[in-house]
Amino acid sequence: DGGITQSPKYLFRKEGQNVTLSCEQNLNHDAMYWYRQDPGQGLRLIYYSQIVNDFQKGDIAEGYSVSREKKESFPLTVTSAQKNPTAFYLCASSTLPGTGGYEQFFGPGTRLTVL
Amino acid sequence: AQSVSQHNHHVILSEAASLELGCNYSYGGTVNLFWYVQYPGQHLQLLLKYFSGDPLVKGIKGFEAEFIKSKFSFNLRKPSVQWSDTAEYFCAVNPLGTNAGKSTFGDGTTLTVKP
């Protein structure tokens, strides 16, 4: 089955700890995205990447970091600098813009709770 | 900066009622427009998209949307809703050109259909 996998589904961390969320896709998509979803606020873009070894900040990148060493993988690290990290995190992928409308395919999400 | 505004946060309808969800965006360049849906317990998935051509686009499950460029709007419609349409609906804008990939989502509209 082609799709996007995110792990873990639930994640708990203590304040002051960094934590890395996994995202893998086997859709052969060039572009990948990370969003944060909070109740009543929709999805907000954290980082996105259109090619290996390159990525751009989204609207709320502060306190987060990413890497794109492989086309299939786009891990997100929530650092201790993120002031309010408790949220639902969604990963997505798409073809590149300009190819008939680059719809995004979403993973199941990771719910992060900071204790 | 681009933005997306969804007019209704929560809509409650009876089965067979007609639905229209408003979406307006602000962006100075060319965009692709999307409606995504998140059914309870499921992944976010594409409902329909507009990227060029006929401004009236049809999606899955009888949904359609009309792009009115002069009004920067992309409203979602369905003539007769069903209980199974209960879900959260998100409008999204994906710019082309320089900012390609920097997606913006609306805050979402929760639709509850009463049987």
**Which of B9, B46, B103 is nearest residue A33 as measured by Cβ atoms?**
B103
3-state SS, residue B89: strand
Q: Are B50 and A101 inside 8 Å of each other by CB? A: yes
Q: Are A101 and B49 inside 8 Å of each other by CB? A: yes
Residue in A76, A102, A73, A80 with CA at minimum distance from that of residue A90:
A76
Confidence of residue A1 (pLDDT cuts 50, 70, 90): low
Looking at residue B85, the DSSP 8-state letter turns out to be G
pLDDT of B36-48, one tens digit each?
A: 999 998 999 999 9
* Paired tokens of B69: 């460029």
Contacts of residue A45 in chain B, CB cutoff 8 Å? 102-104
pLDDT score at A67? 97
Residue A27 amino acid letter: L
Size (chain B), residues: 115
pLDDT of A73-97, one tens digit each?
A: 999 999 988 889 999 999 999 988 7
Looking at residue B55, the DSSP 8-state letter turns out to be S
Looking at residue A73, the DSSP 8-state letter turns out to be B
pLDDT score at A100? 60
CA distance B3 to A24: 29
CA distance A92 to A102: 11
* Smallest CA–CA distance from A98 into chain B, residue: B96
pLDDT score at A98? 67
pLDDT score of A105 more than 90: yes
Residue in A93, A63, A64 with CA at minimum distance from that of residue A3:
A93
More confident residue, B28 or A101: B28
Lowest mean pLDDT among A27-31, A66-70, A100-104, B110-114: A100-104
The answer to whether residue B40 neighbours chain A at the CB level (below 8 Å) is no
The answer to whether residue B106 neighbours chain A at the CB level (below 8 Å) is yes
Q: Are B44 and A90 inside 8 Å of each other by CB? A: yes
List Cβ neighbours of B36 (8 Å cut-off, separation of 6 or more): A104, A106, B44, B45, B46, B47, B89, B90, B92, B105
- Would you give the distance in Å from CA A39 to the centre of its chain? 17
CA distance B77 to B83: 16
Q: Are B34 and A103 inside 8 Å of each other by CB? A: yes
Mutation test of the interface with chain A: which of B35, B58, B93, B103, choosing the one with the most A Cβ atoms within 10 A? B103
Q: What is the mean pLDDT of residues A29-45?
A: 93
* Paired tokens of A76: 């997100």
Q: What is the mean pLDDT of residues A23-46?
A: 94
CB A48 within 8 Å of CB A34 = yes
More confident residue, A15 or B111: B111
Q: Beta strand A87-94 with A76-78: parallel, antiparallel or unpaired?
A: unpaired
Confidence of residue B16 (pLDDT cuts 50, 70, 90): very high
Confidence of residue B84 (pLDDT cuts 50, 70, 90): very high
pLDDT score of A99 more than 70: no
The edge-to-edge listing of strands for the beta sheet with A19-25 is A4-7, A19-25, A76-78, A64-66
The answer to whether residue B73 neighbours chain A at the CB level (below 8 Å) is no
Instruction: Report the percentage of chain B scoring pLDDT > 90.
Output: 80
The CA distance from B29 to the nearest CA of chain A, in Å, is 14
pLDDT score at A112? 95
Confidence of residue A101 (pLDDT cuts 50, 70, 90): low
- The residues pairing with A31 across neighbouring beta strands, listed in sequence order, are A94
pLDDT of B22-38, one tens digit each?
A: 999 999 888 899 999 99
